[in-house]
Amino acid sequence: MLGTAMAAPLVAACGGGGQGGNAKELTFWNFYGPNPQGDARSKWFTDLVAAWNANNDVKVKLHYLPVSEYLAGTALQTAFSAGQGPDIFLLSPGDFLRYHNGRVLTDLTPYLKPDQIADFDGGVLDTRTVDGKVYGLPMEQEPLAVYYSVAAFEQAKLSEGDLPATWDQWLDVAAKLTTKDRFGLLFETIPGYYQNFTWYPFMWMGGGSAVPESGKPGFDVPAVHNALKFWQDAVTTKVAPRKPQGDGAGNGPANLGSGYVAMQQSGIWTVSEMEQQKKDFPYGVFPLPVPDGGTYTTDVGGWAFVANAKGANPEAAATFIAWALGATDEAGVERGRQWNTVVKTNLPARKSVQEAARAAGAFDKPALKVFLDEVVPGGRGEPRYTPEVYKAVSDAIQATQLGGADPATAAADAASKIDAFLKGYQGAAML
């Protein structure tokens, strides 16, 4: 059954297949490569496709889109609505239900052996699985934490002992770090799935949820009001900017590394970005602070490969994905290790890749040890909501963070929209 208004146009219009429907050449849309910078991430993708193409009659062709266009734009949705959706594409849990409920995701289970499925870390497949069928293979696990500038702390006469553990302490430290040339703290202000992803932990730490859980009320609760107000206070007190640098608040080198901010909420990927672009910049990492009476929680995201069920050759697309991210031979494990600990810094989604990474000393770096020892234990997988729920939450964040709206009023408005939508919802479960 279709569960969303967004699902129907996808189903109605995507029968034409990927990029012209060539069964012998699969298009793979992504935001990594081949990119103009020709960086390590781009090379990993081009090498992956080259290795596949060298041994298979059905070829894969990469189609690169900039991060801003892929994450915050509508290119992917527009392509599917026009009947030109790619054969293979990257999908986050946050937007999974748009495409699953629209019936455009291929069931990958028949192309995976039981030992391949078992190799994925506990729970990592949950938000890509419906009724026991796997519809996406994750590349990585990406928890969120806070990065801080050691030099900025020293200039403000602060030390590791001053790292904030509560929201009040966080704003207080941010104020001390704020100067005429630098903001003390950075949260994402650009609306989109990434902003929602980074805000969810603040909602969860107080016991809130975007949708009702186990009989508990949903969005219009004090925990949500407080989370919205906290992000609003960071901007209104001017310890946080209204606009990040670069392509957003997930970009560490452009924000923390440039001296634009002294503390920045971002994901584990920032470790490798800082190494590659700001190697001599001294920084530290600490877990997200907690509200009074709250429970520490962070969000764990990560992208997955998915195949277009309405494409020209879904079987070949699914076979490629199972090989690229699920192969358990030495080459497959090494491919995963390279992506997660050399090209990027992530927590691998697969147990065998985690073991190989540990054996290679990948997690000995101080920043990564903080992630493993202090950040990850409070992790919760990025939720999968429908576009309607996502949009209601996004509007509430924007209305309060930058628009000055009353948090309780914005939460009540969003809750009303969510509750009305849920009354008629018949799609896959929201997690």
* The domain over range 143-300+383-422 is classified in CATH as 3.40.190.10: yes
Instruction: List beta partners, residue 263.
Output: 148
Half-sphere exposure of 429 (CA within 13 A, CB side): 10
Structure tokens at 207: 């016991």
- Using CA atoms, how far apart are residues 270 and 282, in angstroms rounded to an integer? 13
**Mean pLDDT of each 10-residue bin along the chain, 431 residues long:** 33 41 94 95 98 98 94 89 96 96 97 98 95 98 98 98 98 98 98 96 96 86 98 98 96 98 98 96 98 98 97 97 98 98 96 97 95 95 96 98 98 97 96 92
The strand ranges marked E within 162-314 are 263-267, 283-286, 298-301, 304-307
- Using CA atoms, how far apart are residues 324 and 322, in angstroms rounded to an integer? 6
Name the nearest CA neighbour of 321 among 142, 46, 78, 136: 136
pLDDT in tens, 140-199: 999 999 999 999 999 999 999 999 999 999 999 999 999 999 999 999 999 999 999 999
- The amino acid that residue 207 corresponds to is G
The Cα-based distances of 350 to 27, 41, 286, 369 in angstroms read 26, 19, 25, 19
- Do 7-141+301-375 and 143-300+383-422 agree at the fold level? yes
pLDDT at 204: 97
- Using CA atoms, how far apart are residues 221 and 216, in angstroms rounded to an integer? 10
CATH classification code of 7-141+301-375: 3.40.190.10
Instruction: List beta partners, residue 266.
Output: 145
pLDDT at 8: 36
Domain definitions of the chain by residue range = 7-141+301-375, 143-300+383-422
pLDDT at 4: 29
- Using CA atoms, how far apart are residues 46 and 149, in angstroms rounded to an integer? 34
Instruction: List beta partners, residue 310.
Output: none
pLDDT at 5: 31
pLDDT at 12: 37
